[in-house]
């Protein structure tokens, strides 16, 4: 499977953008007043402190926003993480 190039309807739950200082991702929540689902584009720092957040009622709008704002950052795909030594190098084995 190929690593992601941007966030999509298929991968937004496990792919995010990142820099050395920040991470940008989409999460899901709800409006307390209307109890409708919302999608949040959120940027956090290395200490997981929120730096920025925008709210969207439609997932496609959140995807468009995050790809436009942060698409030039590095991307991290949890289903295709960067190469590592793998399980065989673990001292637990």
Q: What is the pLDDT of residues 28-76, one digit of tens each?
A: 999 888 889 999 999 999 999 999 999 999 999 999 999 999 999 999 9
Residue 93 confidence (pLDDT): 39
Q: Regarding beta strands 22-30 and 50-56, do their DSSP bridges make them parallel or antiparallel, or are they unpaired?
A: unpaired
Range of the domain at 56: 15-77
* Count: domains in the chain: 1
- Whether residue 91 is contained in a domain is answered as no
Give the model's pLDDT for residue 84. 55
pLDDT band for 92, please (50, 70, 90 cuts).
very low
In a domain, 50, yes or no: yes
Q: Residue 34: inside a domain, yes or no?
A: yes
For residue 20, is it within any domain? yes
Instruction: Report which of 58, 52, 54, 2 is spatially closest to residue 22, judged by C-alpha positions.
Output: 52
pTM (predicted TM-score): 0.83
Please indicate, yes or no, if residue 7 is contained in any of the structural domains.
no
User: Does the pLDDT of residue 89 top 60, yes or no?
Assistant: no
């Amino acid at each position: 499977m190929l690593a992601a190039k941007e966030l999509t309807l298929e991968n937004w739950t496990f792919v995010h953008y990142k820099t050395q200082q920040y991470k940008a991702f989409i999460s899901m929540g709800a409006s307390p007043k209307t109890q409708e689902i919302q999608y949040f584009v959120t940027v956090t720092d290395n200490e997981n402190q929120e730096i920025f957040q925008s709210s969207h009622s439609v997932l496609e709008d959140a995807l468009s926003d995050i790809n436009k704002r942060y698409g030039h950052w590095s991307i991290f795909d949890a289903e295709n993480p960067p190469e590592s030594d793998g399980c065989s190098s673990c001292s637990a084995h």
